[in-house]
Amino acid sequence: MLFLLYLPPALVDLLVGSFFFVATVRMAQSGANAVVVSAVLTVWGLCYMLTSLAAGRLARRVSAAAMAIAGCVLMVFTCAAFVFVPSLPAIYAIMAVFGIAAGMFFPAYLVFTKDVANGVRRSLHVSAAEYTFAWSLGLAAGPFIAGILWRAVGWQWVFALDALLAVITGAVTLLVVRGGHHEVAAVRDPVVEGAARRPDLARVGWLAATALLLALAAVRGLFPSAAVVERVGEADQGIVLAVICLGQAVVSLVLSRGGSWMYAGKPLAAAGIVGAAGLALFGLAHSTVAYAGAAFLLGLCSGFVFVYIAFHAMVHPGRAGTYIGVNEAIVGLTGILGPLAGGALAVATGHATAFLVLAGAYAVALVVQTIVHARVTAAARRS
């Protein structure tokens, strides 16, 4: 069942979205400056990056499943810690442990499910898009549900729900492992078979992802502080952050239909232009509707990039484990640097200017990315 296969990453990213939301908003409401607020995500990113690098290299078919389940168990303890150790300084330590738990889960789960869908191999571009769609919906639901629960009964109940979802995730993962989901090599995938004749664009994807995720991590760190200034409530903040992931989900569905997007340079560049526009609109926005529009544009861009790097990590089976680990390590590294850079910019120039600077920097990175893509593909044609 595809539903069971993609449910665990969706649920874990729901946890990630709610953790990020509650931790940063609590810090922002305490009066902390943007650097202190953003540092919460930096701590998570550092631990996630280091754990992902190790998990991507160590995970094997059987041990990967055990590692993913162990990550779920550790998430339950972090949820309890948030409730029973509610002090603001403790948030940094708890987010560090949560980064380790998430870093154990995602690379390991993707390694042991990358070719599997209810016992039938699916076309790789479909699997990459479906996987991105699943976790994007989860990440969208996280801040949305957290904002509603916070306003209704208090932020502590967010983590009570998260603990239950972590238990369900571990159980579903175990069910997937024991339920006959196994790799089948009989069905041909022309995309994978033709990969040897195509350029290896994983490194181009890493360049695109690094630039985008730096900006995206900065936005996630900056927005709660900007929202306090603009008097955007907790529930509306959750909606804005959810819209980013809804944009990702929309793009994932479109890309699952196939086409030439996996190797063409123009779609990747077009996605980057849309993302730069979204970042600029964040700097110009003064209302929930405007922030939501900016978030949707940014989500369209990030959705394309995420499917792109997932595809190019998995299209080379012999390097998939390493490439998946690098993908997740980039998420962690940018989670370290993005919030710090965004927070420092906001302190120095103000929130609006910080968003505009991010848009400009991303536009420059987009030009570099386009040039590199053209050179890599040209070199592949000559060889």
Q: Over the stretch 196-237, which tens digit does the pLDDT of each residue have?
A: 677 888 888 899 899 999 999 899 888 888 888 888 888 888
Overall pTM surpassing 0.75 (yes/no): yes
Higher pLDDT: 186 or 125? It is 125
Would the pLDDT of 120 be above 60?
A: no
Q: Give me the pLDDT at residue 369, please.
A: 86
Over range 335-342, report the average pLDDT.
86
- The Cα–Cα gap between 17 and 208 comes to 22
Using an 8 Å Cβ cutoff, are 108 and 55 in contact? Answer: yes
Q: 131 pLDDT band (50/70/90 cuts)?
A: confident
DSSP-H helix ranges across the chain: 2-29, 34-58, 61-84, 90-113, 124-153, 156-178, 190-193, 202-229, 234-255, 265-284, 288-314, 320-349, 351-382
Lowest-pLDDT choice from 171-180, 270-279, 327-336:
171-180
- What's the one-letter identity of residue 322? T
What would the two tokens of residue 280 be?
Answer: 């600029």
Would the pLDDT of 309 be above 70?
A: yes
Over range 231-255, report the average pLDDT.
88
Would the pLDDT of 192 be above 70?
A: no
Over range 364-382, report the average pLDDT.
85
Q: 316 pLDDT band (50/70/90 cuts)?
A: confident
- The Cα–Cα gap between 286 and 289 comes to 9
Q: Please name which of 4, 7, 16 lies closest in space to residue 158, comparing C-alpha atoms.
A: 16
Using an 8 Å Cβ cutoff, are 320 and 111 in contact? Answer: yes
Lowest-pLDDT choice from 40-44, 122-126, 246-250, 259-263:
122-126
Q: 16 pLDDT band (50/70/90 cuts)?
A: very high
Average model confidence (pLDDT) for the chain? 85
Q: Give me the pLDDT at residue 184, please.
A: 43
Higher pLDDT: 57 or 262? It is 262
Would the pLDDT of 59 be above 70?
A: no
Over range 331-352, report the average pLDDT.
87
Using an 8 Å Cβ cutoff, are 290 and 230 in contact? Answer: no
Q: Give me the pLDDT at residue 188, please.
A: 57
Fold for 2-382, please state it: Growth Hormone; Chain: A; (1.20.1250)
The domain segmentation of the chain, as residue ranges, is: 2-382
Q: Give me the pLDDT at residue 118, please.
A: 43
Would the pLDDT of 282 be above 80?
A: yes
- The Cα–Cα gap between 205 and 126 comes to 18
Over range 22-46, report the average pLDDT.
87
Would the pLDDT of 32 be above 50?
A: yes
Would the pLDDT of 5 be above 80?
A: yes
Identify the burial level of 84 via C-beta atoms within 10 angstroms of its C-beta, where 0-12 means exposed, 13-18 middle and 19 or more buried.
exposed
